[in-house]
Structure 1
Amino acid sequence: MIPKIELHLHLEGAAPPAFIRGLASEKGVDLSSIFDGQGRYAYRDFNDFLRVYEAACTVLQTPEDFARLIRAVLAQSAEEGVIYTEAFLSPDFCGGRDLGAWRDYLAAIQEAASEVPEVEMRGVVTCIRHFGPDAAKEAARCAAETAGDFITGFGIAGDEMAGHPRDFTYSFDMAREAGLGLTAHAGEWGGPTSVRDALDHLRVSRIGHGVHAIRDAGLVERLARDGITLEVCPGSNIALGVYGKWRDHPIDELRAAGVPVTVSTDDPPFFHTTMRDEYAHLSDLFGWDDTMFAEINRTAARAAFCDEDTRAALLKRIDAG
């Protein structure tokens, strides 16, 4: 199996539906409205997806709940051949952005991650854009105060149309000063301008999604020239209707233009995908072979928010196949 690196994975969004249903049953919480008749997550559009996502998070109430979630998610990643993952972690869902509570959640998460040695994990603290700039500052403080070997990045997710990147510069400056790698969701719904704004105001080295950059040749040239890595999640884009079908997805065009692209699953059970599914579609539709996938994973290793020893070890494993 091809050794895979995943840079764009929302921890809560990777929770298997059965896991969330089980927690809901244990806690006496009725979440039946967020599942369909087959027990899968059910939503109508992106905004409804956010509602369902946040509802599922309501049963993740303790550090031990998150430890159990980590074990389940990383076990799935290992089955898919993932050797390194960066999971987006939100202090909003881990103690309500209280620093003391966040430390407790983080300790449980890190301990659980160590129990799945097949997958090397790092945490990217992620503020929620539609929760507003003040909440983002609190999330950034949690990130800055716990930056180190495990918490290595900071980013922003949520409703890409809420506010403007300039509203979050303080949070990103705080994270930058703490030595964290920076990424931002952009170019999924907001068009090329949202990517430019994230680059100009947040000064990130990676963009989550970024696919609508393809509509602006100058922006594509800038991404390629500056080596801005895109965390592309094709299956997510198809499931949410960003693109109507796989054949229309621009990942191969972006790659051919010299933009560093990587492949991730985003929120896999919500979008009925896995890393193996993503690779199979890319192989079938764009002719990507093992050599191409190895290069994609080298790109991911070079863009990862990790120390140089870990990076070298990842590259060695990729080269070994």
Structure 2
Amino acid sequence: MTVSDLPKIELHMHLEGAAPPAFIRGLAKEKNTDLAGIFDENGAYKYKDFWDFLKVYEAATSVLKSPQDYYRLTRAVLEESAASNVIYTESFLAPDFCGGGDVAAWQDYLAAIKQAADEMEREAGIVMRAIPTCVRHFGPDQAKQTALCAAETVGDFVTGFGMGGDEAMGKQNDFKYAFDMAREAGLRLTSHAGEWGGPESVRDAIRDLKVERIGHGVRAIEDLALVDEIAEAGIVLEVCPGSNVALGVYPKWSDHPIAELRKRGVKVTVSTDDPPFFHSTMRYEFDRLAETFGWEEADFLELNKAALDAAFCDEATRGAVAKKLEPADA
């Protein structure tokens, strides 16, 4: 067995961002929508930089127009994840894209997504939990509506609340109301920070939004006092190395700070973010980390344990997933 064959836990994946290009092309054809400009000659997603990536992402998402589309998307994404032996995944869902932030429409979309997730759990053994996520560049008022959608559907499937989007837009504190609303509803909290924003954006997310996990967070390494604070507080980083390299946050894998963060006591996990955009899979992430940093099976078991401990799920689910992580000869 190689490290890429190990069972895996993923905490940071955007459902729309994980849509296989062929799936989006097929949907566009069904809807007579021309999306040719977002694909390269090989059929992969095409973008110039992070901000162009956001435009291509939203263009691809534009053909997802109904709960049935999201049912099909969820099955397609979870099939890809299961092929990498992912046994538990948390997916960011954007109510803005699933009914425009309307609670009743969101409930219909969510029901379709959950139906697909339940089917894939029975068929492939992969467990999914949902984290409704506001889009930072859509602004604080829209984030409040997203938080309301999340709060109205909290339960065994919807377990967290987060924020993604363009880190250059506004401050973390601008979204405090939405995060307070989600917290009061019993949702657990994460926010993207320290990807394009520097270490101060990570500090802001922890201080102002009181999150327990940070999406990316890797640029905390530029402030070693902050790294120590994160380690001491037990804040978990949802690290997506392949994404960071593909988007140019770091020029190459050997420059990525995941190993240094881990060495300094930070709880790091590994995820794909938007895998087809970055030509990644969880198998690929594990292989490249092993190749780059010399990590072995014990290292990846530690990463999986950190991810499971930080997962936004109930204890019964955590226990069931833990059993799947145990070696076959244990």
TM-score by length of 2: 0.96
Given the alignment of the two structures, is residue 239 of structure 1 paired with residue 246 of structure 2, yes or no?
Answer: yes
Q: Are 1:157 and 2:182 an aligned pair?
A: no
Q: Offset at 1:96?
A: 0.2
Show the 5 A alignment for 1:37-76. Answer: 37-76=41-80
Task: Name the structure 1 match of 2:130.
Answer: 123
What SS class does the counterpart of residue 38 from structure 1 fall into?
A: coil
Aligned twin of 1:184: 191
Equivalent position amino acid for 2:274 in 1: D
The answer for the alignment partner of 1:89 in structure 2 is: 93
Q: C-alpha deviations, 1:156-179, integer Å up to 9, x for none?
A: 000011000111000000000011
Structure 2 residue 280 is matched with structure 1 residue 273 = yes
Give aligned-pair identity as a percent: 65
Deviations 1:49-96 (A, max 9, x none): 000000001100000000000000001111100000000000000000
SS of aligned partner of 2:326: helix
Shift of 1:316: 2.3
State the alpha-carbon separation in 2 of the partners of residues 219 and 107 from structure 1: 40
Q: Write the mapping of 1:212-251 to structure 2, written as runs, cut at 5 A.
A: 212-251=219-258
Using the TM superposition, give the Cα deviation of residue 317 of structure 1 relative to its aligned residue in structure 2, in angstroms. Answer: 1.9
SS of 1:116's partner is: helix
Q: Distance in 2 between matches of 1:195 and 1:311?
A: 27
Counterpart CA distance in 2 for 1:320 and 1:139 is: 40
Offset of 1:320 from its aligned partner?
2.7
- List per-residue Cα deviations over 1:104-149 (Å, max 9, x = no partner): 0000000011111111000000000000000000000000000000
Q: Paired residues, what number?
A: 321
Task: Find out whether 1:104 has 2:108 as its counterpart.
Answer: yes
Listed one character per residue, the Cα deviations across residues 196-229 of structure 1 (whole Å, up to 9, x for unaligned) are 0000100000000000000111100011000000
**SS in structure 1 at match of 2:237:** strand
| Distance in 2 separating the partners of 1:69 and 1:22 | 11
Q: Match of 1:77, SS? A: helix
Query: 2 CA distance for matches of 1:90 and 1:80?
Result: 24
Contact 1:208 1:231 survives alignment (8 Å): yes
| SS at structure 1 position matched to 2:65 | coil
Aligned to 1:142: 149
Does the CA-based 8 Å contact 1:24-1:30 persist in structure 2? Answer: yes
**4+ runs deviating over 6 angstroms:** none
Question: Which residue matches 1:3?
Answer: 7
The 1-side partners of 2:152 and 2:167 are apart by 26
2:265 maps to 1:258: yes
Alpha-carbon separation, structure 1, partners of 2:88 and 2:278:
21
2:26 maps to 1:19: no
Aligned equivalents of 1:139, 1:233: Cα separation in 2? 24
Q: Distance in 2 between matches of 1:308 and 1:320?
A: 21
Q: Does 1:209 align with 2:216?
A: yes
Structure 1 residue 315: Cα displacement: 2.0
CA distance in 2, matches of 1:253, 1:313: 31
Unpaired runs of at least 5, structure 1: none
Matching residue of 2:317: 310
Q: Which amino acid in 1 is paired with 2:306?
A: T
Return the alpha-carbon distance in structure 1 between the equivalents of residues 167 and 92 of structure 2.
Answer: 16
Question: Which amino acid is the alignment partner of residue 254 of structure 1?
Answer: L
2:290 aligned partner = 283
Cα distance between partner residues in 2 of 1:313 and 1:23: 35
Q: Distance in 2 between matches of 1:62 and 1:317?
A: 34
- Alpha-carbon distance, 1:319 to partner: 2.5
| 3-state DSSP of counterpart to 1:224 | helix
Letter in 2 for 1:226: A
Distance in 1 separating the partners of 2:132 and 2:186: 13
The one-letter amino acid paired with 1:275 is M
Give the Cα–Cα distance (whole angstroms) in 2 for the partners of residues 182 and 320 of structure 1: 31
Query: 1:311 offset after TM fit, Å?
Result: 1.0
Distance in 1, Cα, partners of 2:299 & 2:108? 41
